[in-house]
Amino acid sequence: MSSEWPPSAELAITPSPPAIPQRVYPTGMFLALGAILMFFMALISAFVVRKGLSTSSLEAPIGLPWTLLSLNTILLVASSATVEAARRSQKHSNPAAFRKWWYTATALGLAFLVGQFAAWRILARQGIYLASNPDASFFYLFTGAHALHLLGGIAGLLVVARKSLHQLTLATATRVATMYWHFLTIIWASIFLLLVFGYK
Protein backbone atom coordinates (compact mmCIF):
# COMPACT_ATOMS: atom_id res chain seq x y z
CA MET A 1 0.00 0.00 0.00
CA SER A 2 1.57 3.26 -1.14
CA SER A 3 1.47 6.46 0.86
CA GLU A 4 1.64 9.90 -0.60
CA TRP A 5 3.96 12.49 0.89
CA PRO A 6 3.66 15.38 0.92
CA PRO A 7 -0.12 15.17 1.37
CA SER A 8 -2.41 15.97 -1.51
CA ALA A 9 -3.70 19.48 -2.14
CA GLU A 10 -6.98 18.66 -0.39
CA LEU A 11 -5.15 18.05 2.89
CA ALA A 12 -2.75 20.99 2.61
CA ILE A 13 -2.98 23.60 5.33
CA THR A 14 -4.96 26.62 4.21
CA PRO A 15 -2.86 29.77 4.55
CA SER A 16 -4.11 32.27 7.09
CA PRO A 17 -5.81 35.37 5.69
CA PRO A 18 -3.66 38.47 5.42
CA ALA A 19 -3.61 40.71 8.47
CA ILE A 20 -5.77 43.82 8.38
CA PRO A 21 -3.61 46.97 8.04
CA GLN A 22 -3.42 48.83 11.34
CA ARG A 23 -4.42 52.14 9.73
CA VAL A 24 -7.90 50.71 9.09
CA TYR A 25 -8.80 50.84 12.78
CA PRO A 26 -8.24 54.59 13.36
CA THR A 27 -10.12 55.28 10.13
CA GLY A 28 -13.03 53.18 11.36
CA MET A 29 -12.98 55.03 14.67
CA PHE A 30 -13.12 58.39 12.87
CA LEU A 31 -16.23 57.22 11.02
CA ALA A 32 -17.83 56.00 14.26
CA LEU A 33 -17.06 59.30 16.00
CA GLY A 34 -18.65 61.16 13.11
CA ALA A 35 -21.86 59.20 13.57
CA ILE A 36 -21.85 59.79 17.34
CA LEU A 37 -21.19 63.50 16.78
CA MET A 38 -24.18 63.75 14.45
CA PHE A 39 -26.37 62.09 17.10
CA PHE A 40 -25.38 64.59 19.80
CA MET A 41 -25.61 67.52 17.39
CA ALA A 42 -29.19 66.49 16.65
CA LEU A 43 -29.96 66.52 20.39
CA ILE A 44 -28.27 69.88 20.85
CA SER A 45 -30.15 71.37 17.89
CA ALA A 46 -33.46 70.16 19.31
CA PHE A 47 -32.54 71.65 22.69
CA VAL A 48 -31.63 75.03 21.20
CA VAL A 49 -34.82 75.15 19.13
CA ARG A 50 -36.95 74.34 22.16
CA LYS A 51 -35.20 76.99 24.23
CA GLY A 52 -36.06 79.49 21.52
CA LEU A 53 -39.77 78.85 21.87
CA SER A 54 -41.71 81.47 23.82
CA THR A 55 -43.36 78.80 25.99
CA SER A 56 -40.01 77.64 27.41
CA SER A 57 -39.70 80.80 29.52
CA LEU A 58 -42.96 79.94 31.30
CA GLU A 59 -41.64 76.61 32.62
CA ALA A 60 -40.28 76.32 36.16
CA PRO A 61 -36.49 75.77 36.08
CA ILE A 62 -35.08 72.55 37.45
CA GLY A 63 -32.48 72.69 40.21
CA LEU A 64 -29.46 70.86 38.86
CA PRO A 65 -26.68 69.80 41.28
CA TRP A 66 -24.07 72.12 39.78
CA THR A 67 -21.35 71.35 42.31
CA LEU A 68 -21.59 67.63 41.62
CA LEU A 69 -21.78 68.13 37.85
CA SER A 70 -18.70 70.37 38.02
CA LEU A 71 -16.84 67.72 40.01
CA ASN A 72 -17.85 65.08 37.47
CA THR A 73 -16.49 67.27 34.69
CA ILE A 74 -13.17 67.60 36.48
CA LEU A 75 -13.02 63.82 36.92
CA LEU A 76 -13.59 63.19 33.21
CA VAL A 77 -11.04 65.81 32.14
CA ALA A 78 -8.51 64.24 34.52
CA SER A 79 -9.33 60.85 33.07
CA SER A 80 -8.68 62.16 29.57
CA ALA A 81 -5.33 63.56 30.72
CA THR A 82 -4.30 60.25 32.30
CA VAL A 83 -5.29 58.19 29.27
CA GLU A 84 -3.11 60.49 27.17
CA ALA A 85 -0.26 59.96 29.64
CA ALA A 86 -0.78 56.21 29.25
CA ARG A 87 -0.64 56.49 25.46
CA ARG A 88 2.65 58.40 25.66
CA SER A 89 4.05 55.81 28.08
CA GLN A 90 3.13 53.02 25.68
CA LYS A 91 4.71 54.94 22.81
CA HIS A 92 7.94 55.22 24.79
CA SER A 93 7.89 51.50 25.71
CA ASN A 94 7.23 51.99 29.42
CA PRO A 95 4.72 49.21 30.28
CA ALA A 96 4.69 49.90 34.02
CA ALA A 97 3.75 53.56 33.55
CA PHE A 98 1.28 52.60 30.84
CA ARG A 99 -0.60 50.25 33.13
CA LYS A 100 -0.59 52.76 35.99
CA TRP A 101 -2.02 55.60 33.91
CA TRP A 102 -4.43 53.35 32.00
CA TYR A 103 -6.00 51.90 35.13
CA THR A 104 -6.13 55.38 36.68
CA ALA A 105 -8.03 56.67 33.64
CA THR A 106 -10.45 53.74 33.88
CA ALA A 107 -11.04 54.37 37.59
CA LEU A 108 -11.68 58.08 36.97
CA GLY A 109 -14.14 57.19 34.22
CA LEU A 110 -16.00 54.89 36.59
CA ALA A 111 -16.01 57.64 39.24
CA PHE A 112 -17.55 59.99 36.66
CA LEU A 113 -20.35 57.50 36.02
CA VAL A 114 -20.98 57.11 39.75
CA GLY A 115 -21.18 60.90 40.00
CA GLN A 116 -23.68 61.06 37.16
CA PHE A 117 -25.81 58.42 38.84
CA ALA A 118 -25.67 60.47 42.04
CA ALA A 119 -26.87 63.53 40.10
CA TRP A 120 -29.83 61.54 38.76
CA ARG A 121 -30.63 60.39 42.30
CA ILE A 122 -30.62 63.99 43.53
CA LEU A 123 -33.12 64.99 40.85
CA ALA A 124 -35.26 61.95 41.62
CA ARG A 125 -35.41 62.95 45.28
CA GLN A 126 -36.69 66.35 44.12
CA GLY A 127 -39.42 64.59 42.15
CA ILE A 128 -37.83 65.45 38.81
CA TYR A 129 -37.92 62.59 36.31
CA LEU A 130 -37.53 62.10 32.58
CA ALA A 131 -41.15 63.04 31.84
CA SER A 132 -41.48 65.82 34.42
CA ASN A 133 -40.88 68.65 31.92
CA PRO A 134 -38.86 69.31 28.74
CA ASP A 135 -35.82 70.61 30.67
CA ALA A 136 -35.67 67.44 32.72
CA SER A 137 -36.16 65.32 29.61
CA PHE A 138 -33.22 66.95 27.84
CA PHE A 139 -31.00 66.66 30.91
CA TYR A 140 -31.66 62.93 31.22
CA LEU A 141 -31.27 62.41 27.47
CA PHE A 142 -27.96 64.25 27.31
CA THR A 143 -26.44 62.65 30.38
CA GLY A 144 -27.92 59.20 29.77
CA ALA A 145 -26.75 59.00 26.14
CA HIS A 146 -23.29 60.18 27.13
CA ALA A 147 -23.12 57.70 30.00
CA LEU A 148 -23.99 54.81 27.67
CA HIS A 149 -21.22 55.79 25.27
CA LEU A 150 -18.83 56.16 28.20
CA LEU A 151 -19.69 52.65 29.39
CA GLY A 152 -18.63 51.42 25.97
CA GLY A 153 -15.40 53.38 26.34
CA ILE A 154 -14.69 51.82 29.73
CA ALA A 155 -15.26 48.37 28.24
CA GLY A 156 -12.72 49.26 25.56
CA LEU A 157 -10.19 50.44 28.13
CA LEU A 158 -10.53 47.18 30.03
CA VAL A 159 -10.09 45.13 26.86
CA VAL A 160 -6.87 46.99 26.07
CA ALA A 161 -5.68 46.66 29.68
CA ARG A 162 -6.23 42.88 29.56
CA LYS A 163 -4.62 42.77 26.09
CA SER A 164 -7.63 40.84 24.75
CA LEU A 165 -6.66 41.87 21.23
CA HIS A 166 -6.79 39.92 17.99
CA GLN A 167 -5.42 41.67 14.93
CA LEU A 168 -4.83 45.01 16.65
CA THR A 169 -1.42 45.81 18.02
CA LEU A 170 -1.26 47.34 21.47
CA ALA A 171 -0.12 50.64 19.97
CA THR A 172 -3.11 50.77 17.61
CA ALA A 173 -5.59 49.73 20.30
CA THR A 174 -4.22 52.38 22.64
CA ARG A 175 -4.48 55.04 19.96
CA VAL A 176 -8.05 54.13 19.01
CA ALA A 177 -9.24 53.95 22.63
CA THR A 178 -7.57 57.27 23.42
CA MET A 179 -9.27 58.92 20.44
CA TYR A 180 -12.65 57.72 21.66
CA TRP A 181 -12.01 58.80 25.25
CA HIS A 182 -10.86 62.32 24.29
CA PHE A 183 -13.91 62.63 22.05
CA LEU A 184 -16.29 61.73 24.90
CA THR A 185 -14.56 64.26 27.15
CA ILE A 186 -15.08 67.00 24.55
CA ILE A 187 -18.72 65.96 24.11
CA TRP A 188 -19.33 66.12 27.87
CA ALA A 189 -17.61 69.52 28.17
CA SER A 190 -19.92 70.79 25.42
CA ILE A 191 -22.98 69.35 27.16
CA PHE A 192 -21.93 70.86 30.49
CA LEU A 193 -21.52 74.32 28.95
CA LEU A 194 -24.86 73.92 27.22
CA LEU A 195 -26.49 73.07 30.55
CA VAL A 196 -24.84 76.08 32.21
CA PHE A 197 -26.09 78.54 29.59
CA GLY A 198 -29.45 76.83 29.17
CA TYR A 199 -30.43 76.16 32.77
CA LYS A 200 -28.71 78.76 34.94
- Segments making up each domain of the chain, as ranges: 63-199
Classify domain 63-199 at the CATH topology level. Answer: Four Helix Bundle (Hemerythrin (Met), subunit A) (1.20.120)
Segment 102-161, tens digit of pLDDT: 999 999 999 999 999 999 999 999 999 998 888 999 999 999 999 999 999 999 999 998
Segment 81-113, tens digit of pLDDT: 999 999 999 999 998 999 999 999 999 999 999
Cα(16)–Cα(14) distance, rounded to whole angstroms?
6
The predicted structure's pLDDT at residue 12: 45
The predicted structure's pLDDT at residue 17: 47
Q: Is the pLDDT of residue 172 over 80?
A: yes
Handedness of CA 41, 47, 51, 53 (dihedral sign): positive
Compute the half-sphere exposure of residue 54: CA atoms within 13 Å on the CB side of its CA: 0
Q: Is the pLDDT of residue 76 over 70?
A: yes
The predicted structure's pLDDT at residue 57: 58
The predicted structure's pLDDT at residue 14: 44
DSSP H helices in the chain: 24-52, 66-91, 95-125, 134-161, 170-199
The predicted structure's pLDDT at residue 137: 93
The predicted structure's pLDDT at residue 176: 94
The predicted structure's pLDDT at residue 9: 45
Asked if residue 6 has a cis previous peptide bond (ω within 30° of 0), the answer is yes
The predicted structure's pLDDT at residue 16: 47
Cα(67)–Cα(15) distance, rounded to whole angstroms?
59
Segment 2-60, tens digit of pLDDT: 555 455 444 444 444 456 777 888 899 999 999 999 999 999 999 989 888 756 555 66
